[in-house]
C-alpha cells in the first residue's frame, strides 16, 4: 500500500479539497451559503450537523454529483463544474454512502471490488493487484469469493470501501457509513477508515452523527443554517458543550460522563473526549488516595 503515500509525496498543491465561497440551493431551498473550506492532503476531517443541515449536499459537491449554485469547488486543483474534470475527480475522491446494499453491484466480493477498475480499462494484472490490495486493506481476505448478500452489514460496507480503494483514490468521502451497522460492524468499519488515513495517508472526509467517531478526526466542522457554525479539533469542539447542544448535537458519551463526574466532585477534567483518557484520569485519582 506504499503507493498511496507516494501519491501524496508527489503532490505540490497543498489543499486537496477547496470550497471557495460556495453556495448551493435546491430550487428555492438554499442549503449552503458562502462556504469556504480547505481540506489538506492526508487530513481526517469529520463533518457534523443536525439532519438537513447540508452534510450530504456538501459530500455531493466534492465529487461533482452536484455543482455549486455559486462559488467553486476544487479537487486537487480541478474545478468540479468543468465536466471534463469529472472522471479524474471521481478517481481521486471516492464516495461511500450509508446503505451498503445500494453500492454493491456484483454477486461475488472480488468481482464487486473489480467493477470500477475494470471500467477504467486497466490491464487484468493491474486490476488483480488493486483488488487484492483493496480487499486486504479492509480485512476481507477470507471473503474474497463470497456472495456479498451473505455478509454482515459491516462486512458489506467494507466491500464498498474496498471498491473505492481499488480506484486508488487520494481521498475518501464517507456519508454516514456506519449509520446502518450494529456496534461491532461500526467499530470494524471505523478501524479501517482510521487505518487508511493514519497508515496509508488517504485523506478522509467523514460525515457522521456519532460523536465518538468524530473524535478520531484531526478536525471537525459543524454545519448549521447553511454555514460552518463551528470548526476546530475534536477537543476544542467538545469542550463547548452548550454550543454543541444548541446546534442539535451532543458531546461524546465519555465527555458527558466526565462532566457528570466532575460535577459530583470527582476531580477529572471536563474536556475528556476518549475513553482511555477517562480511565487514565480515574486511575491517577486512585493513586492519589493510596
Ligand X SMILES: Nc1ncnc2c1ncn2[C@@H]1O[C@H](COP(=O)(O)OP(=O)(O)O)[C@@H](O)[C@H]1O
| Residues near ligand X (CB under 6 A) | 26, 29, 31, 49, 51-57
What residue 54 binds from Mg ion, ligand X, none (CB within 5 to 8 A, per partner kind)?
A: ligand X
Question: Which of 266, 259, 271, 264 lies closest to 283, judged by CA?
Answer: 266
What residue 29 binds from ligand X, Mg ion, none (CB within 5 to 8 A, per partner kind)?
A: ligand X
| Helix H or strand E segment including 85 | none
- How many other CB atoms are there within 10 angstroms of residue 73's CB atom? 25
Nearest approach in angstroms of CB 22 to ligand X is 13
- Whether 78 contacts 17, CB under 8 Å: no
Chain centre to alpha carbon of residue 134: 17
What residue 85 binds from ligand X, Mg ion, none (CB within 5 to 8 A, per partner kind)?
A: none
What residue 197 binds from ligand X, Mg ion, none (CB within 5 to 8 A, per partner kind)?
A: none
How far apart are alpha carbons 139 and 34 in whole angstroms? 40
- 234-265 burial string, b = 16+ CB within 10 Å, else e? beebbbbbeebeebebebbebbeebbebbeee
Nearest approach in angstroms of CB 51 to Mg ion is 7
Nearer to Mg ion by Cβ, of 55 and 143: the residue is 55
Nearest approach in angstroms of CB 65 to Mg ion is 13
Nearest approach in angstroms of CB 148 to ligand X is 25
Nearer to Mg ion by Cβ, of 57 and 239: the residue is 57
What sections of the chain are H helices per DSSP?
A: 2-10, 55-62, 86-92, 109-119, 124-137, 153-165, 183-198, 211-214, 234-238, 241-246, 253-263, 275-289
What residue 49 binds from ligand X, Mg ion, none (CB within 5 to 8 A, per partner kind)?
A: ligand X
Nearer to Mg ion by Cβ, of 56 and 203: the residue is 56
Closest-approach residue to Mg ion (CB): 56
Cell of 55: 452534510
In angstroms, the Cα distances linking 46 to 184, 230, 283 are 21, 12, 30
Nearer to ligand X by Cβ, of 55 and 186: the residue is 55
Nearest approach in angstroms of CB 32 to Mg ion is 13
Nearer to Mg ion by Cβ, of 55 and 168: the residue is 55
Contacts with Mg ion by CB under 5 A lie at: 55-56
Amino acid at each position: 500500500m506504499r503507493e498511496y503515500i507516494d501519491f501524496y509525496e508527489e503532490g505540490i498543491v497543498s489543499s486537496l479539497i477547496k470550497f471557495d465561497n460556495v453556495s448551493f440551493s435546491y430550487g428555492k431551498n438554499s442549503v449552503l451559503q458562502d462556504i469556504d473550506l480547505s481540506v489538506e492532503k492526508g487530513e481526517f476531517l469529520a463533518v457534523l450537523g443536525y439532519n438537513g443541515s447540508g452534510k450530504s449536499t456538501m459530500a455531493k459537491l466534492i465529487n461533482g454529483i452536484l455543482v455549486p449554485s455559486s462559488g467553486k469547488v476544487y479537487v486537487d486543483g480541478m474545478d468540479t463544474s468543468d465536466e471534463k474534470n469529472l472522471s479524474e475527480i471521481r478517481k481521486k475522491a471516492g464516495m461511500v454512502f450509508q446503505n451498503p446494499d445500494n453500492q454493491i453491484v456484483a454477486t461475488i466480493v472480488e468481482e464487486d471490488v473489480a467493477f470500477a477498475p475494470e471500467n477504467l480499462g486497466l490491464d487484468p494484472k493491474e486490476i488483480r493487484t488493486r483488488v487484492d490490495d483493496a480487499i486486504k486493506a479492509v480485512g476481507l481476505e477470507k471473503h474474497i469469493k463470497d456472495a456479498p448478500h451473505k455478509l454482515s452489514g459491516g462486512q458489506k460496507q467494507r466491500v464498498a470501501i474496498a471498491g473505492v480503494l481499488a480506484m486508488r483514490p487520494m481521498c475518501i468521502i464517507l456519508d454516514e457509513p456506519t449509520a446502518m451497522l450494529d456496534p461491532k460492524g461500526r467499530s470494524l468499519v471505523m478501524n479501517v477508515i482510521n487505518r487508511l488515513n493514519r497508515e496509508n495517508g488517504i485523506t478522509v472526509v467523514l460525515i457522521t452523527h456519532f460523536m465518538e467517531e468524530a473524535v478520531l478526526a484531526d478536525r471537525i466542522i459543524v454545519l448549521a443554517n447553511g454555514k460552518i457554525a463551528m470548526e476546530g479539533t475534536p477537543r476544542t469542539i467538545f469542550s463547548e458543550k452548550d454550543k454543541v447542544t444548541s446546534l442539535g448535537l451532543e458531546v461524546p458519551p465519555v465527555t458527558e460522563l466526565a462532566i457528570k463526574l466532575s460535577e459530583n466532585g470527582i476531580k477529572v477534567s471536563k474536556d475528556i473526549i476518549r475513553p482511555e483518557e477517562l480511565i487514565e484520569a480515574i486511575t491517577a485519582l486512585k493513586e492519589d488516595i493510596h
